Structure 1
Amino acid sequence: MTDLRKHFPITSGMLRRQVAAVKAVDDISFSVRKGETLGVVGESGCGKTTTGRMIMRLLEPSAGKIVFEGHDITHMKQRQLRPLRRDIQMIFQDPYSSLNPRHTVGAIVGAPFRLQKVKTEGGIKKAVQEILELVGLNPEHYNRYPHEFSGGQRQRIGVARTLALRPKLIVADEPVSALDVSIQAQVVNLLEDLQDEFGLTYVVIAHDLSVVRHIADRVAVMYLGKIVELADRTSLYESPMHPYTNALLSAVPVPDPDKRKGRERIRLQGDVPSPLNPPPACRFHTRCWKAQEICKTVEPPMVELKPGHQTACHFPENAPAGAAETVAKSAAL
């Protein structure tokens, strides 16, 4: 993804003229390596789901470029995208609304085979039953309907549908947020096992940083349509550089009472600004305790301050000596 943007127009009047735009995603760039899991985290409304839907081409980007295995898919027509759907699939957030209640499990999980006209040895029913068994469901569930299952089981049905054609990339949009904690662990472990078995690549969108820490190799932190920090899991969780990342991590529950006592909770002041009219320069400066005048006038560039650790902040924390000078030089360019 290069310089990716998605602006939703706001129109007015009988002629439906555009008067403004909601800047849901505004100029972000990142890559996903084969076989890895990239976590995308941030507050609600920061643009995570919009980013995932653009990767899937369920939304048309306003600008930027999406390249998958060397092929530019940014503006592919639906007819051209159909074969690509075999390689890129999505796990949706809500297991209650993402399954058609009028269809049986067999029809839901078997739909990809029929839509892509894929023939399987032994027929679609046998293939579907094998996939159900793979995700921890009984093959006899083939003729049942979604309302007969629990939330965790429904999410497994969604995972089974996603896996039907053995995709290469899976975008998981908060795959466990609607589930109980014990069921969350089961689904996360299932995703990890499937990744090991089939060599899958994941983009996991979540607001639960504990889940992301468990499953992700690298983590991208989004705020108001921008990526403000991108690093490998260990570096980001142990030495976050962006103040916003620090604030998010300070809110993660700690089960150890002794560690919890000596921990400082960072409470952000004010509400998240509207993506309709985001603050100029650094979008976080209205809530940041480190903000200075430059933060209101100059947008901080995304700079690699440690190997593999990038952040967009004029005054990064936990940064090596000379980091401020490096950011200043990049901003001047």
Structure 2
Amino acid sequence: MSEPLLSVQGLEKHFPVTKGLLQRQVAAVKAVDGVSFEVRKGETLGLVGESGCGKTTTGRLITRLIEPTGGKIVFEGNDITHMSQGKMRPLRRDVQMIFQDPYSSLNPRHTVGAIVGAPFRIQGIKTEQGVKKAVQDILELVGLNPEHYNRYPHEFSGGQRQRIGIARTLALKPKLIIADEPVSALDVSIQAQVVNLLEDLQNELDLTYVVIAHDLSVVRHISDRVAVMYLGKLVELADRKSLYESPMHPYTNALLSAVPIPDPKRRVERERIRLQGDVPSPLNPPPACRFHTRCWKAQEICKTVEPPLQKLAPGHEVACHFPENAPAAAAEAAPAAV
């Protein structure tokens, strides 16, 4: 099997909390706390979880928009964890990000041509037929009219603005794209168009995606594998079919029980799992299993021993002492393996 395009090992990001005139650190917000996963060339990894679980922070760490506190980020076999900004500049051609809000991610004072053409100017790249022709070709690729080159962002709808953002991301033909909630700010009718566009571009340009989302319906449609985050940690990682048909972690089961079902009969028959209480603060997360304060299966071991992320089925990893839907032998061995 080929080496992964991206490998994240024990990734951490702790934001310091300071106090007093001297700004002395008194605590830390553990936004990302020991996350590990791999992404292979051409695949799509979905990263899901409730708001505040650390998904977006993980994406920004991978693209080095923020500095990690600990762990390792390896891209194409090169450790980029603490690479200097000067050395990161050429690498940014290969690693790009689609931002969540198409309204705030585009400079309203710049034309579409200037926005999409910015990567060429920043990287000092020249094209055979000029930057304008290259930008117009990219606009056409994402479903926009090349004549929109001289228009401004306020002249476009939300879906069109997101296409402009995607066009800017594609300008330098990246290998890896981190898509941070790429459709959450759009109308439902437009969401499907953008998701289909991302899939078409992946097939046409051989792209690799990490798609960050809280909408499990979108993730199911576009992802090959899915990683579930809770309070800064991965609690389940599996291929799409396995995770949606046989989720093992109680938290994943709760998330899936909230996904809308178009069939009225199945919707009535399905048991809705309602989690009690709010997500604990990452400033002071619960000890051991961080989900135990809201879990209906929690026992004493969940409060004292942190469950490791371990493989309980082919391609299916879960961090739980008492997993659901697991093969009998694996489920029996899970608590003892801690």
| 1:87 matched to 2:94 | yes
User: Counterparts of 2:261 and 2:215 in 1: how far apart (Å)?
Assistant: 13
Number of the residue aligned with 1:45? 52
Number of the residue aligned with 2:305? 298
> Is the contact made by 1:3 and 1:27 (CA closer than 8 Å) also made in structure 2?
yes
Alignment length (residue pairs): 331
Number of the residue aligned with 2:42? 35
Number of the residue aligned with 1:311? 318
Pick the aligned partner of 1:193 from 174, 189, 200. 200
Pick the aligned partner of 2:81 from 61, 71, 74. 74
User: Counterparts of 1:28 and 1:122 in 2: how far apart (Å)?
Assistant: 44
User: Counterparts of 1:101 and 1:87 in 2: how far apart (Å)?
Assistant: 26
- Partner SS for 1:267: coil
> Is the contact made by 1:282 and 1:300 (CA closer than 8 Å) also made in structure 2?
yes
- Partner SS for 1:231: strand
Number of the residue aligned with 1:107? 114
> Is the contact made by 1:301 and 1:327 (CA closer than 8 Å) also made in structure 2?
no
- Partner SS for 1:107: helix
> Is the contact made by 2:312 and 2:331 (CA closer than 8 Å) also made in structure 1?
no
Letter in 2 for 1:317: E
Number of the residue aligned with 1:262? 269
Number of the residue aligned with 1:130? 137
Number of the residue aligned with 1:121? 128
Shift of 1:14: 1.3
User: Counterparts of 2:337 and 2:62 in 1: how far apart (Å)?
Assistant: 28
| 1:17 matched to 2:59 | no
- Partner SS for 1:220: strand
Shift of 1:261: 1.2
Number of the residue aligned with 1:176? 183
User: Counterparts of 1:53 and 1:164 in 2: how far apart (Å)?
Assistant: 20
> Is the contact made by 2:93 and 2:173 (CA closer than 8 Å) also made in structure 1?
yes
- The normalised TM-score by structure 2 is 0.97
> Is the contact made by 1:218 and 1:232 (CA closer than 8 Å) also made in structure 2?
yes
User: Counterparts of 1:185 and 1:72 in 2: how far apart (Å)?
Assistant: 36
Letter in 2 for 1:296: K
> Is the contact made by 1:194 and 1:200 (CA closer than 8 Å) also made in structure 2?
yes
| 1:161 matched to 2:168 | yes
Shift of 1:260: 0.6
Shift of 1:330: 2.7
User: Counterparts of 1:66 and 1:277 in 2: how far apart (Å)?
Assistant: 26
Q: 1:24-83 deviations in whole A, cap 9, x for unaligned? A: 000110011110000000000000000000000001000000000000000011101000
> Is the contact made by 1:316 and 1:323 (CA closer than 8 Å) also made in structure 2?
no
> Is the contact made by 2:322 and 2:335 (CA closer than 8 Å) also made in structure 1?
no
Q: 1:149-176 deviations in whole A, cap 9, x for unaligned? A: 0000000000000000000000000000
User: Counterparts of 1:90 and 1:317 in 2: how far apart (Å)?
Assistant: 35
Number of the residue aligned with 1:234? 241
Shift of 1:192: 0.3
Unmatched segments (≥5 aa) in structure 1 = none
CA RMSD of aligned residues (A): 0.6
Letter in 2 for 1:184: Q
Number of the residue aligned with 1:98? 105
User: Counterparts of 1:271 and 1:85 in 2: how far apart (Å)?
Assistant: 38
Unmatched segments (≥5 aa) in structure 2 = 1-7
- Partner SS for 1:59: coil
Q: 1:272-328 deviations in whole A, cap 9, x for unaligned? A: 000000000000000000000000000001110000000000000000012234323
Shift of 1:223: 0.2
| 1:205 matched to 2:244 | no
Letter in 1 for 2:10: D
Letter in 1 for 2:126: K
Letter in 2 for 1:204: V
Number of the residue aligned with 2:337? 330
Calculate percent identity across the aligned residue pairs: 83
Pick the aligned partner of 1:243 from 236, 245, 250. 250
Number of the residue aligned with 2:3? none
- Partner SS for 1:112: helix
User: Counterparts of 2:95 and 2:298 in 1: how far apart (Å)?
Assistant: 40
Q: 1:177-227 deviations in whole A, cap 9, x for unaligned? A: 000111000000000000000100000000000000000000000000000
User: Counterparts of 1:117 and 1:83 in 2: how far apart (Å)?
Assistant: 10
